[in-house]
Amino acid sequence: MKRFGIVLSASVLFATCLALFSDERIAKADNAYFALAPGTPFLQDWSNIGLIVSDDNWSGVPSVIGYLGEAGGSTEDVNAQTVLTTFVTPDVQANETNPSTFTTGGVAEFHITDPVVALQASGAADFPSIDIRLNTTECALPANAINVSYSLRDIDGSIDNAVQQVALQYRVGDTGNYTNIPAGYIADATTGPSLATMVTPVLVSLPADAKGQAQVHVRMITTNAAGNDEWVGIDDINISCQANSAASVSLGGRIVNADGRGIGNATVIVSGGGLAQPRRALTGPFGYYTLENLRAGETYVVTVKTKRYSFQTSSHVVTLNDELADIDFVADPYP
């Protein structure tokens, strides 16, 4: 007896499954583009632990999606600046509590003292990333600048000590490859073994072609390190549209040791804020320093370096709206 029915080819079945999977991905992500404008920055510090409630579900996080970054095989020690392709598999492990023992790579949300979303590459998640969607049409004037600021936090206190690089990239439009931003590249955002204290500030202005666009993607991405990878938090994200100002102001402070005595001949480096290259100053015999003729309204990274001392906090991110004379640094006590 002849049977009547529908026979689907393998290609049709694959296409159907892919469409269903794509619809499910879209349903679990907030695909809106944040309207960036002067006075309306994009901010995310992950303090609201109710944003992510289940694995692989970004629908509660406005304009942010994390991606697994699977490459189809183990790929180690690839320069993150060269990974420019688009990834499509959303990923987040929700409600984790211990980054020192949690070893599933990809993207994870950690409910720790200072909650954070973090990246860790692995053989199955070669290039995990966080992608932020922006609408910059209200930031189109030539005098405007789109400044991207965030902190990379080493939150992995295990015995692992990988060289954990993180790159910053952007893309105009909803398809195509990303463009790397060399100034945002951090060659190693972690320390170890058994250390989880390092915080690395990143401050970069997007290239001019990112202004006045309906669809701009900003991506922080890491790659699979040689050895056991570490978790790196992407925290205190602040993306702003700022009008450049011709006004000049100064920035200063003091560098002291743990006993409060000034440290002379320490190098203070100021970067960001539209500077073509970093500015430097040496402290005087009592530890004071000053840098003149910095543009008001800009955000800068201030870093201290000296051969004689180490600093638990060696960098500060400051927005220079007026004269500042209290950007101080205190050295660690001697062992």
Residue pLDDT, tens place only, 271-293: 988 777 889 999 999 999 999 88
Task: For 34-143, list the strands marked E by DSSP.
Answer: 34-35, 42-44, 64-67, 93-96, 106-110, 116-120, 129-135
pLDDT at 161: 87
Pairing between β-strand 329-330 and β-strand 279-282 as defined by DSSP bridges: unpaired
User: pLDDT-based confidence at 14, cuts 50/70/90?
Assistant: very low
* Per-residue model confidence (pLDDT) at position 335: 55
**What residues contact residue 327 under an 8 Å CB cut-off, 6+ apart?**
251, 252, 253, 302, 316, 318
- Which of 55-59, 121-125, 256-260, 281-285 bottoms out in mean pLDDT, i.e. has the lowest? 121-125
pLDDT of residue 21 exceeding 60, the answer is no
**Confidence label for 166 from pLDDT (cuts 50, 70 and 90):** very high
- The correct CATH number of 248-330 out of 3.40.50.2000, 2.60.40.1120, 3.40.50.300, 3.30.1360.20 is 2.60.40.1120
pLDDT > 80? residue 42: yes
Please tell me which of 142-146, 227-231, 237-241 the model is most confident about, judged by mean pLDDT: 237-241
pLDDT at 145 exceeding the cut of 70: yes
DSSP state of 47: -
Residue range 21-32: mean pLDDT, rounded:
61
Residues of the chain with CATH 2.60.40.1120: 248-330
Point out which residues pair with 316 in neighbouring strands.
302
pTM of the model: 0.72
| pLDDT band per the 50, 70, 90 thresholds, residue 237 | very high
Say yes or no to pLDDT of 154 above 60: yes
- Confidence bin at 123 (pLDDT 50/70/90): confident
What average pLDDT score do residues 127-138 get? 97
CA gap 320, 291 in Å, rounded: 12
Per-residue tokens: 103:
């070893």
- Residue pair 176/84 in contact (Cβ under 8 Å)? The answer is no
Confidence of residue 10 (pLDDT cuts 50, 70, 90): very low
Q: Chain-wide mean pLDDT for the chain?
A: 88
Q: Which amino acid is at 19?
A: A
pLDDT of residue 73: 61
Q: Which CATH homologous superfamily contains domain 28-243?
A: Galactose-binding domain-like (2.60.120.260)
Q: How far is CA 161 from CA 155, 157, 195, 196, 228, in A?
A: 12, 9, 9, 10, 7
Better pLDDT: 27 or 109: 109
Residue 196 contacts residue 154 (beta carbons within 8 Å): yes
3-state secondary structure of 27: helix
Q: CATH 2.60.120.260 region(s) of the chain?
A: 28-243
Best-predicted range by mean pLDDT among 117-121, 193-197, 321-325? 117-121
Which pLDDT belongs to residue 244? Answer: 64
Confidence of residue 141 (pLDDT cuts 50, 70, 90): confident
